């Protein structure tokens, strides 16, 4: 018997000691009113307590406390412990009942948890509570209940973007809801109606909340909104407009008409299957076709004397035209043979000595680079045609055959100067090739030209994007048709993570796979602060499968690699031995890293109502984005109302704020309800949203009010700011703006041969032969690099067969529009290469 009672006595003893400790600690009151201790009947004294109700996880919404409940039977005491500490007896609410089925006593205890209690340990650990129940036999612990403060941020991490899509095309709308606890649920709306994929299987919502329209229908045109909600709040993203358009198709041809009096018959077709809709393209081709009738069908059977005279006259005219055509062909062939006889004719090699439209002054050293070239030099003349008449590989081939059709007779005429071709025809022809089917057909942002060993230049006006093809970059005997285009960022989405941001436009030059003897130079704008101590800037290249690869880390370039970069204040110069699609991606190393934002103000050119809108664009400070916004505003009827400002936007996670002040209250008022507008940090830093802007809607109290004065401020929270002081007449703005901001660049998009360069071809060769050979006194290419402030790239230049030639290539890329060849002559004089030395010096004299 003692052996059986021993464990029971020991448990009873431990429980009694614990009760005495709780009484002494103040957790158990000795008065009957508040006591949490009960005496169990003898029949149930050996039972352990078990829980009927355990505390559950709870969320605190705003400032409303939550209640935790614990119920146990049979129990003499129940107390809560939160984050390892006992909750005081006075904070417990106790209720005792008896279970009618078992006659066991039931004890229930509740406590309230406030927001202040949870916030005391916020960030250190999660706040939890559990209850402990006692009986005379022992204790039991409940499960832990976690109490969290519920919230839902205001700003979406990614919002859907509007798109124009063709009928039956798949559409992907992205949405990343705001951060929240508990995690937000997401639903999609079209024109304020909730989308239910269960009732319309054409819609599909992915696990990461993106909306997929499997096949776009005309009825799917509308405004799409991503809605996030949890127990705290409900947030809506900005609406994204999806426009589904229909390209027109031709109906079947009608039957031929009867033969008419003019001996012709007709048939027609209509653009109705389907008809073009919602901005779709019209049908291509003829809608009316004619055909001459046979003599048996023609109703004219008799030809009078007048008809005979008419036919005689027509024959005479035809003979005259034939003779004229023969003369023209003979003259053309003689001229062509003259050009083929000697490509290195001085008129070709010296054309483009000065760039078009630039007439620099002539200082005392200008004669150093303007002497007449010596055309008798055998090393610089090229005899024969620009490519072999019997070499079918003059243009490179790909797996699907030649990129472009061979030129007739296997020959080619050099167009020295502006290349004139139909851009739309070129883009259409190029995009039919397998690899280029993904290229955008954006003729306005594409340039192309045909080039040989003399090189040339491609430029996309008003974008800061150009491609320099140096002389001898294309092997002799080869002719390439090369293109340059800027991609829209929504067409090519780069995978960005963490603190990464897009710093440049996405630029394609090609065709990929061409053989180059020397690197070309691709110039693109960037929007970083150009401080490599703040950034890890990578050059990314798209491979043939469409994936993006890191090919270069700025500042850690290897001279053995096919890519090399020079980062300037606003431009990046990429030396590349391969053509392809490139972009600069930056990753901030600390919060001091900054992007340049261009702040641009637009308003309606004409206002006939009381309301007046001012649109403030906050865009990457690159010329291509500014060009797109200018073109878009011109289509919307907008006008630029002040010169753009530049703001340094730091990686501080702080948003951008915009506000308007100091309006004459007697004439104007703002319809903005808050004191400012705000653009989330992530939307700006990511760099993938092109046209971020805020609109200020103002209201004039009378239609006769036309003068507007105000102060518009844009600033990053705890960072830099800019302000615009506006004072103008909204009906007739007579202020003059700098032409730099009005997209006045009308330079030729493609230049082939010597006209693309400031330094004539033969003079360039003389300079290279003079400076490439090392001189003991340093008067060689190294001093030229130092004088041009390019000494950081000495190892890159030294790795090339002709360092001087690469330096001159970079000078040409930097100074084509604004360069002064006389400045280069002055540098040559400083080096000590006087006129006689430049062209007559030998290695022995060094």
DSSP for 177-240?
PPPEESPPEEEEEETTEEP-TTT-TTEEE-TTS-EEESS--GGG-EEEEEEEE-SS-EEEPPPE
- Tell whether the model's pLDDT for residue 556 goes beyond 60: yes
Averaging pLDDT over each range in 30-34, 423-427, 545-549, which range is the top one? 545-549
* Helix, strand or coil, per DSSP, at residue 735: coil
- Tell whether the model's pLDDT for residue 503 goes beyond 90: yes
- Tell whether the model's pLDDT for residue 346 goes beyond 60: no
Q: Is the peptide bond before 74 cis (omega within 30 degrees of 0)?
A: yes
The pTM (predicted TM-score) of the whole model is 0.54
The residue among 356 and 290 whose pLDDT is bigger is 290
pLDDT the model gives residue 147: 92
- Tell whether the model's pLDDT for residue 58 goes beyond 90: yes
The residue among 58 and 121 whose pLDDT is bigger is 58
Average pLDDT over residues 816-845: 62
Which stretch of 157-161, 425-429, 514-518 has the lowest confidence by average pLDDT?
425-429
State the angle between helix axes of 803-815 and 761-771 in degrees (0 to 180), rounded to the nearest 10. Answer: 130
Best CA proximity match to 640, nearest among 648, 649, 631, 651:
631
Q: What is the pLDDT confidence band of residue 385, given thresholds at 50, 70 and 90? A: very low
Q: What is the pLDDT confidence band of residue 89, given thresholds at 50, 70 and 90? A: confident
Measured in degrees and rounded to the nearest 5, phi and psi for residue 727 equal: -155, 95
Average pLDDT over residues 578-583: 94
Q: What is the pLDDT confidence band of residue 347, given thresholds at 50, 70 and 90? A: very low
Mean pLDDT of the chain: 78
pLDDT the model gives residue 689: 73
Give CA–CA dist 457/616, Å, rounded: 35
Long-range contacts of 123-130 (CB under 8 A, 24+ apart): 125/83, 127/82, 127/83, 128/82, 128/83, 129/55, 129/68, 129/80, 129/81, 129/82, 129/83, 129/87, 130/55, 130/80, 130/81
pLDDT tens, 21-38? 444 344 444 333 333 445
The residue among 843 and 729 whose pLDDT is bigger is 729
pLDDT the model gives residue 295: 58
pLDDT the model gives residue 832: 77
- Interacting residues of 1 by C-beta distance below 8 A, sequence separation 6+: none
Percent of the chain residues topping a pLDDT of 90:
40
The residue among 366 and 523 whose pLDDT is bigger is 523
The residue among 206 and 403 whose pLDDT is bigger is 206
Which DSSP state fits 528?
B
Average pLDDT over residues 684-703: 85
The residue among 497 and 442 whose pLDDT is bigger is 497
Q: Which residues of 753-787 are buried (b: 16+ CB within 10 A; e: fewer)?
A: bbbbbbbbbbbbbbbbbbbeeebeeebbbbbbbeb
The kind and range of the H/E element at 432 are: none
Which stretch of 82-96, 346-360, 772-786 has the lowest confidence by average pLDDT?
346-360
pLDDT the model gives residue 356: 35
Which DSSP state fits 284?
P
Cα-Cα-Cα-Cα dihedral sign, residues 124, 128, 133, 139: negative
pLDDT the model gives residue 120: 81
Q: Are 685 and 588 contacting, i.e. CB atoms less than 8 angstroms apart?
A: no
- Tell whether the model's pLDDT for residue 800 goes beyond 80: yes
pLDDT tens, 488-502? 765 666 777 777 899
pLDDT tens, 205-248? 998 899 999 999 988 999 999 999 999 899 999 999 998 888 77
Average pLDDT over residues 734-762: 75
pLDDT tens, 158-192? 999 988 888 888 899 999 999 998 999 999 999 99
Percent of the chain residues topping a pLDDT of 70:
74
Residues in the chain: 846
- Tell whether the model's pLDDT for residue 5 goes beyond 90: no
Give CA–CA dist 475/516, Å, rounded: 7
Average pLDDT over residues 727-737: 78
Give CA–CA dist 433/404, Å, rounded: 9
Q: What is the pLDDT confidence band of residue 521, given thresholds at 50, 70 and 90? A: very high
Question: Could you tell me how far CA 797 lies from the centroid of its own chain?
Answer: 32
pLDDT the model gives residue 586: 93
Q: What is the pLDDT confidence band of residue 804, given thresholds at 50, 70 and 90? A: very high
pLDDT the model gives residue 4: 34
Give CA–CA dist 67/55, Å, rounded: 9
pLDDT the model gives residue 566: 92
Q: Are 547 and 592 contacting, i.e. CB atoms less than 8 angstroms apart?
A: no
pLDDT the model gives residue 737: 62
pLDDT the model gives residue 393: 34
- CA separation, residue 412 to residues 164, 340, 384, 386, 395 (Å): 41, 9, 11, 7, 11
pLDDT tens, 245-287? 887 788 788 888 888 776 878 788 888 777 776 666 777 777 7
pLDDT tens, 626-664? 998 998 888 888 899 999 999 999 988 899 999 999 999
Give CA–CA dist 351/356, Å, rounded: 10
Which stretch of 128-137, 268-277, 539-548 has the lowest confidence by average pLDDT?
268-277
Average pLDDT over residues 300-307: 51
């Amino acid at each position: 018997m003692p052996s059986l009672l021993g464990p029971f006595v020991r448990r009873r003893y431990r429980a009694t000691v614990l009760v005495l400790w709780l009484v002494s600690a103040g957790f158990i009151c000795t008065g009957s009113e508040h006591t949490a201790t009960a005496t169990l009947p003898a029949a149930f004294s050996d039972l352990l307590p078990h829980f009927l109700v355990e505390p559950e996880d709870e969320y605190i919404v705003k400032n409303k406390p939550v209640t935790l409940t614990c119920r146990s039977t049979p129990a003499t005491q129940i107390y809560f412990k939160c984050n390892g500490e006992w909750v005081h007896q006075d904070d417990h609410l106790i209720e005792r009942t008896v279970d009618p089925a078992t006659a066991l006593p039931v004890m229930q205890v509740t406590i309230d948890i406030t927001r202040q209690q949870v916030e005391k340990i916020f960030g250190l650990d999660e706040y939890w509570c559990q209850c402990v129940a006692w009986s005379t036999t022992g204790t039991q612990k409940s499960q832990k209940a976690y109490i969290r403060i519920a919230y839902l941020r205001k700003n979406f991490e990614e919002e859907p973007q509007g798109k124009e899509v063709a009928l039956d095309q798949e559409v992907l709308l992205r949405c990343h809801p705001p951060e929240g606890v508990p995690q937000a649920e997401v639903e999609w709306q079209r024109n304020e109606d909730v989308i239910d994929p269960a009732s319309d299987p054409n819609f599909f919502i992915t696990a990461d909340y993106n909306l997929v329209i499997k096949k776009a229908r005309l009825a799917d045109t509308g405004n799409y909104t991503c809605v996030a909600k949890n127990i705290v709040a409900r947030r809506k993203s900005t609406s994204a407009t999806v426009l589904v358009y229909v390209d027109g198709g031709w109906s079947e041809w009608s039957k031929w008409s009867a033969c008419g009096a003019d001996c012709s018959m007709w048939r027609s077709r209509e653009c109705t299957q389907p008809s073009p809709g919602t901005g779709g393209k019209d049908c291509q081709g003829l809608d009316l076709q004619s055909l001459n009738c046979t003599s048996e069908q023609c109703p004219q059977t008799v030809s009078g004397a007048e008809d005979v005279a008419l036919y005689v006259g027509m024959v005479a005219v035809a003979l005259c035209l034939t003779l004229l055509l023969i003369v023209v062909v003979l003259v053309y062939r003689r001229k062509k043979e003259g050009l083929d006889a000697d490509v290195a004719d001085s008129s070709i090699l010296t054309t483009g000595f000065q760039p078009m439209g630039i007439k620099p002054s002539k200082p005392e050293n200008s004669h150093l680079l303007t002497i007449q070239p010596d055309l008798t030099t055998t090393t610089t003349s090229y005899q024969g045609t620009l490519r072999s008449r019997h070499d079918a590989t003059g243009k490179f081939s790909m797996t699907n055959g030649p990129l472009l059709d061979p030129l007739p007779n296997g020959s080619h005429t050099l167009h020295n100067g502006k290349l004139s071709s139909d851009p739309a025809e070129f883009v259409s022809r190029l995009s039919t090739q397998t690899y280029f089917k993904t290229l955008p057909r954006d003729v306005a942002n594409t340039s192309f030209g045909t080039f040989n060993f003399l090189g040339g230049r491609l430029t996309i006006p008003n974008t800061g994007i150009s491609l320099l093809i140096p002389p001898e970059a294309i092997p002799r005997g080869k002719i390439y048709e090369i293109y340059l285009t800027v991609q829209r960022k929504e067409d090519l989405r780069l995978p960005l993570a963490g603190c990464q941001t897009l710093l440049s436009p996405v630029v394609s030059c090609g065709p990929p796979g061409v053989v180059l003897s020397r690197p070309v130079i691709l110039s693109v704008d960037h929007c970083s602060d150009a401080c490599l101590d703040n950034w890890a800037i990578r050059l990314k290249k798209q491979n043939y499968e469409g994936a993006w690869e890191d090919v270069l880390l700025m500042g850690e370039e290897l001279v053995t690699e096919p890519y090399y970069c020079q980062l300037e204040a606003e431009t990046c110069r990429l030396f590349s031995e391969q053509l392809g699609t490139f972009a600069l991606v930056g990753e901030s190393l600390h919060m001091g890293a900054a992007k340049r934002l261009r702040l641009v103000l637009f308003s309606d050119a004409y206002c006939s109502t009381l309301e007046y809108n001012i649109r403030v664009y906050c865009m990457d400070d690159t010329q291509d984005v500014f060009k797109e916004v200018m073109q878009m505003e011109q289509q919307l009827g907008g006008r630029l109302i002040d010169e753009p400002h530049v703001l340094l936007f730091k990686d501080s996670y702080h948003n951008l704020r915009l506000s308007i002040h100091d309006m004459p209250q007697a004439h104007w008022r703002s319809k903005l309800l808050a004191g400012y507008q705000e653009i989330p940090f992530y939307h700006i830093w990511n760099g993938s949203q092109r046209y971020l802007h805020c609109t200020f809607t103002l209201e004039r109290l009378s239609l006769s009010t036309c003068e507007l004065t105000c102060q518009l401020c844009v600033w990053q929270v705890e960072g830099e700011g800019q302000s615009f002081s506006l004072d103008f007449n909204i009906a007739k703005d007579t202020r003059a703006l700098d032409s730099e901001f009005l997209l006045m660049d009308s330079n030729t998009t493609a230049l082939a041969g010597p006209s693309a360069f400031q330094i004539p071809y033969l003079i360039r060769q003389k300079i290279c032969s003079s400076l490439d050979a090392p001189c003991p006194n340093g008067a060689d290419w190294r001093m030229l690099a130092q004088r041009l402030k390019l000494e950081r790239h000495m190892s890159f230049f030294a790795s090339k067969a002709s360092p001087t030639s690469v330096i001159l290539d970079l000078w040409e890329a930097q100074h084509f529009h604004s360069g002064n060849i006389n400045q280069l002559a002055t540098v040559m004089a400083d080096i000590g290469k006087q006129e006689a030395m430049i062209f007559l010096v030998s290695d022995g004299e060094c």
